[in-house]
Structure 1
Amino acid sequence: MARPVRVETLLPVEVDFQRERASGLRRSGDSLEKVLDALSRSERELRASSGPARAERYPAYRALWKEAERLRWNLTVQREACGLRNHRDLDLIYPLPPLLKE
C-alpha cells in the first residue's frame, strides 16, 4: 500500500505551479496587449485612408485583428484552465473592436 503524501512536501511545488500560472497569464496578457495596440494604430490608419491606399492596408489590419482574436481566445482558455470562469474582466481590459469591413 502506498504511503500518504505529506502536505508539507506539496506546498513548495504548489507555490511554484501558482507562480508559473500567474507568469503565463501575464505573458499572454502582455502579448495580447501589444497586438491590440498595433491593431489600434492600424485601424486609425485604415480609417484615415480611402481607395487604393485603404485596399492596400486592409490585409495587414485584418491579419492583426485575427491575431488579436486568436490571442484573446488563448488567454480565455488559459484562464479557464486556471479555474477562472468569469471573463467579463477580459472584455474590460482587452476589448476586441469589431472587424472593419474592407
Structure 2
Amino acid sequence: MSSKGPVGGALAIEIEMRAEAASSIRALGQRIERQLSELQQLGQQVRAMAPSPARNKKLAEYEEKRLDAEYRKWTLIVQREAMGLYNHDDVEEIYRVPPKLS
C-alpha cells in the first residue's frame, strides 16, 4: 500500500470542501448584494413619503429587511472565519448595511 494514496485522497477531499465553501460564500454574497439593492430602493421610498400609516408600514418593512441584511452579513463573516479568513474589512466595505430610518 502506497503512503501517497491517503494523502492524495485527503487532499482531493479538502480541495472539494474548500471549493464548496467558496461557492456557498459567493452565493451568500450575491444574495446580500441583491438584498442591499432592494433595501436602498425601499429606503428611498420611505424617505419620499409623508408621515402616514402607509409610511409606517414601509418603514417597518425596511427595518425588517435591514436586520435581515445584518444577519446575512454576519453569517458571511462566520463562514469566512470557518475557512480561516479573519480580516473582514473587505466585507464591511462591500456590504454596507444602511442605517435605521426614522
TM-score (norm 1): 0.88
Note the C-alpha offset of 1:14: 1.2
Q: Which secondary structure does the structure 2 equivalent of 1:6 belong to?
A: helix
User: Which blocks of at least 5 consecutive residues in structure 2 are unaligned?
Assistant: none
Aligned to 2:91: 90
Aligned to 2:39: 39
Count, aligned residues: 99
Note the C-alpha offset of 1:68: 0.4
Aligned to 1:16: 16
Aligned to 1:29: 29
Note the C-alpha offset of 1:6: 3.2
Q: Deviations over 1:39-95 (max 9, x none)?
A: 001001011112114223111111110110110111111111111100100111111
Aligned to 2:72: 71
Q: Which secondary structure does the structure 2 equivalent of 1:65 belong to?
A: helix
Identical positions, percent: 35
Q: Which secondary structure does the structure 1 equivalent of 2:101 belong to?
A: coil
Q: C-alpha separation between the residues in 1 aligned to 2:80 and 2:8?
A: 27
